[in-house]
Each structure stands twice: as structure tokens, then as C-alpha cells.
Structure 1
Amino acid sequence: MPKTLWIVLALVLMAGWAGAADLPVAPNGIALYPEFMSWKPLAPSYREDKGHIRLITANDVALAGLRAGKNPLPDGSVLAKVAWKAVKHPAFPVATEPGEFVQVEFMVKDSRKYAATGGWGFARFVGKELKPYGKDPGFVAECFGCHTPVAAKDYLFTSLPSVP
């Protein structure tokens, strides 16, 4: 391979690594998945106690597993839950729509790495700054504790909604 091609390849790889280094990382080592809004939408949800409209997106691995009815989902599955404050539409007040961005949360399936939490790793990034949530890796106890009531559904609250 010519020397100039090696140099170009090295620069491209270094640029990719530099970009990855700029991503926020949760205290347990899970980095923000920057492509989460380009994943397929799985389902909307509304959290009454928080007043949040949420959109759950899924990477291709998770979506294929859900469509196939897999329980548990295969390793490599990643779900994102994007939350906005719910606001009334200014021109149509009976309609509610997403307002200010609140946070994005991730569930990352790796049955070996996250065996202690049902095979799932958790991460949350808060506000427009996407600040990693939690002071140390122990923050996942809060996430996992919330998901334990749905352990029989692979710790997932969300499923594919029915459509005609």
C-alpha cells in the first residue's frame, strides 16, 4: 500500500477516535449513542408523574429481536428513551407536544457484562449539555430497581404497539 494511502487511513481513523472521545460517558462507562434519534421509533410513552413525553427508539438488533418476539433480547440490543417536557400546543391547547428536552436514557444488552442487572447496562444523559447522570457506577441500582417489576419481560416496560 502506498505511503500516502497509509497516512490518509491513519488520519481518518484518528478523526474517528477523536470524535468518539468527545462523547459524554456515564459513570459506568457507557458512552452516549449519538445516532439514537436515527434509530427506528419503537413506541411513544407519557410519564404522568414527571410530565414527560417520551419516544423510545431501538437499534436494528433490538428491533429485530422485538419483532421476532425474543425474550430476552439478544446481546447488542440498545434502546433509547428520549424525554421532553410535555407542553400544550399554543394554537391548539387540547393537543400536547414535546417542549424542552429533558434527557435521554439508554438500555444496553450485554448478558455477561451486565449479568448483575438482568443483562442490561443503563445510562442517562441530562439536559441540553447531555451531562452524564450519577456520581459513580452505583447509580444503576436506581435504574435497575425501577425495572425489576417487569423482569419477566426482560426488564422492558415498552413493547411493540399494535398497528393495522
Structure 2
Amino acid sequence: MKTIVGTLIVMLLPALALGEGRPVAPNGIPLIEGYRNWQVIAPSYRDDKGHIRLIFGNGTAIKAMKEGTRPFPDGTVMAKVAWTAVKHPKFPVATIPDRFVQVEFMVKDAAKYKATGGWGFARFVGENLKPYGRDAGFVQECFGCHTPVKGNDYVFTGFASVP
């Protein structure tokens, strides 16, 4: 019986590691469950896209942000959720999130993602969370955008100040 159970566990581990039942980006990064329970690092707004964004960090990311640790340690994960922006119907001077657009992840593993500054990237688009990119090469698009902030370990976001 122990042998059968052990064999089943060995067979299931790869499926669990790949995010079985969750969408998986072409580079193998699955949609990371529970990211909405992480602490908020900061909001942002992209004029060119008209998107309101909210950046979350796992515990490792939050600790590194608070301590100013650069480069970020392996295990750091950040999630950026984007919505279209609309004026509040009852208070039109306020802009609020409307339609969900996408969620993006940055996963720090200096050895695994050496070619992209130590970061793995993944994007899941629309309500059906469709993985972005035809193949694993899509990460060059992500990494290209992040190169201007190489001095901050390729991360645009900093902790939003709150007294």
C-alpha cells in the first residue's frame, strides 16, 4: 500500500507544480492562487491604456519592500491586476475600476530566469484568464519594458507611502 501511495504522490507532484486546473503561461508559470489575499504595495494608473492597476506582493516581496532589499530575494512574487477606468456614476470626479482586464505576475528566481534579470513573467487576460503569448518568448516583451528600472531590480513599483 505504501508503494502505491508513494507512486501516486510522485506522479501527481509534476501536475501540482504546473498548476493543474489553473491556466498556465507559455513559460510554465501558473496563475498563482491567493494573490488577492496578499498585501497591497501600491496602486497605479496607465494613461496610455486607461487602466487602474493594483500591485500586490507576497510576504517575501513585502519584507523586501519594507527593508529596501535589492536585488529582491528568490521567492518574491508580485501580482498586478488591471481594470478599465470609468467615472463613478454618482460622483463623476472620481475614477473607479470597471471591467477586469488582466493579472500579471513577476516571480523572482535568479537562476531559473537569469536571461530576464532573474524574473519570470506571466500574464492572464480577460475574465477567462487566457494565458498571454504564443510561446515562452513573450517574456522578452515584458522584460523589455522593465529594463529602464534595472537599477531597482527591474521593478517599477515602490511602497505607497501611508503614515
Matches within 5 A, 1:35-74: 35-74=34-73
Question: Secondary structure in 1 aligned to 2:41?
Answer: strand
Question: What whole-Å deviation, never above 9, does each CA across 1:47-73 have from its counterpart, x for those lacking one?
Answer: 000000000000001111111110111
Match of 1:87? 86
**TM-score by structure 2 length?**
0.89
Instruction: Say whether residues 1:135 and 2:134 are aligned partners.
Output: yes
Distance 1:95 1:75 in 2: 38
RMSD: 1.9
Match of 1:33? 32
Question: What whole-Å deviation, never above 9, does each CA across 1:113-141 have from its counterpart, x for those lacking one?
Answer: 00110000000000000000000000000
Distance 1:22 1:152 in 2: 37
Match of 2:23? 24
Aligned length: 154
Distance 2:25 2:125 in 1: 11
Question: Secondary structure in 2 aligned to 1:65?
Answer: helix
Distance 1:62 1:157 in 2: 13
Match of 1:163? 162
Moved more, 45-54 or 154-163: 154-163
Distance 1:162 1:83 in 2: 21
**TM-score by structure 1 length?**
0.89
Question: Secondary structure in 2 aligned to 1:21?
Answer: coil
Structure 1: gaps (5+ residues): none
